[in-house]
Amino acid sequence: MPTLLHHPLDPSSRLARLMCAEYGVPLDVEEIKPWLREPGLLEINPAATLPIMMGEHDAPVVGLLAVIHAIEEQYTPSVVEGLIPSSAPARAEMWRLMEWVIFKLNDEVTRYILEEKIVKRDQRGATPEPSVLRVAKANLNEHMLYFNWLFATRQWLAGNSLTLADFALAAHLSTLDYLGDIDWGKAGETRLWYSRIKSRPAFRTLLNDRVVAMPPHSGYADLDF
Q: Can you tell me the mean pLDDT for 55-67?
A: 92
Has residue 94 got a pLDDT over 70?
yes
Residue 176 CB coordination number (10 Å): 21
Q: Can you tell me the mean pLDDT for 98-120?
A: 98
Residue 60 CB coordination number (10 Å): 16
Cα 223 to the center of its chain, rounded Å: 18
Has residue 15 got a pLDDT over 90?
yes
Report d(CA 103, CA 19) in Å as an integer: 19
Q: Who's near 1: CB < 8 A, 6+ residues apart?
A: 26, 27, 28, 56
Q: What's the confidence (pLDDT) of residue 53?
A: 97
Q: Kind and range of the H or E element at 62?
A: strand 61-62
Has residue 78 got a pLDDT over 80?
no
Report d(CA 1, CA 42) in Å as an integer: 23
Secondary structure of residue 96 in the 3-state scheme: helix
Task: Describe the strand order of the beta sheet including 61-62 as a list of residue ranges.
Answer: 28-31, 3-6, 52-54, 61-62
Q: What's the confidence (pLDDT) of residue 56?
A: 76
Report d(CA 181, CA 105) in Å as an integer: 14
Mean pLDDT of the chain: 95
- Bridge partners of residue 3, in order along the sequence: 28, 54
- Give the pairing type, strands 61-62 and 52-54: antiparallel
- With cut-offs at 50, 70 and 90, classify the pLDDT of residue 76: confident
Range ranked top by mean pLDDT from 72-81, 142-151, 216-225: 142-151
Q: What's the confidence (pLDDT) of residue 107?
A: 98
Cα 89 to the center of its chain, rounded Å: 24
Q: Can you tell me the mean pLDDT for 10-35?
A: 96
Check if the beta carbon of residue 174 is closer than 8 Å to that of residue 206: yes
Has residue 143 got a pLDDT over 80?
yes
- Between 11 and 74, the more confident residue is 11
Q: Could you tell me which of 157, 171, 205 has the C-alpha nearest to residue 51? A: 171
Say which range, 6-10, 75-79, 108-112, 150-154, has the weakest mean pLDDT: 75-79
Say which range, 63-77, 104-118, 134-148, 177-191, has the weakest mean pLDDT: 63-77
Has residue 189 got a pLDDT over 90?
yes
Report d(CA 189, CA 184) in Å as an integer: 10
Q: Who's near 28: CB < 8 A, 6+ residues apart?
A: 1, 2, 3, 4
- With cut-offs at 50, 70 and 90, classify the pLDDT of residue 57: confident
- With cut-offs at 50, 70 and 90, classify the pLDDT of residue 79: low
